């Protein structure tokens, strides 16, 4: 989790979940966190071996990435 390399994914309203998941699979990630909405609009969160503290850290890094765009 100390890797500072950030890969940009296309920021597009037409990018499908399958495309994002395929890109993640091809990135050979060591850890992963998936956040989205299910068909009923409920929040869905799952991760690999990431604890809540690491998940929050990852979310904060993503926040800084999003604000820098």
The pLDDT of residue 48: 92
Average pLDDT, the chain: 84
Burial class (CB in 10 A: 0-12, 13-18, 19+), 50: middle
Q: Quick check: 61 and 4 in contact, CB under 8 A?
A: no
Q: Give the tens place of pLDDT for each residue, 5-30.
A: 555 556 667 888 898 888 888 888 89
pLDDT class of 35 with cuts at 50, 70, 90 = very high
Supply 40's token pair. Answer: 């009923």
Q: What is the pTM of this model?
A: 0.69
The DSSP line for 49-62 is S--HHHHHHHHHHH
């Amino acid at each position: 989790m100390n890797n500072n390399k950030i890969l940009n994914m296309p920021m597009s309203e037409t990018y499908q979940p399958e495309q994002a998941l395929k890109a993640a699979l091809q990135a050979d990630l060591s850890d992963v966190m998936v956040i989205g909405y299910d068909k009923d609009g409920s929040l869905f969160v799952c991760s690999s071996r990431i604890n809540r503290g690491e998940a929050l850290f990852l979310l904060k890094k993503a926040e800084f990435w999003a604000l820098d765009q």
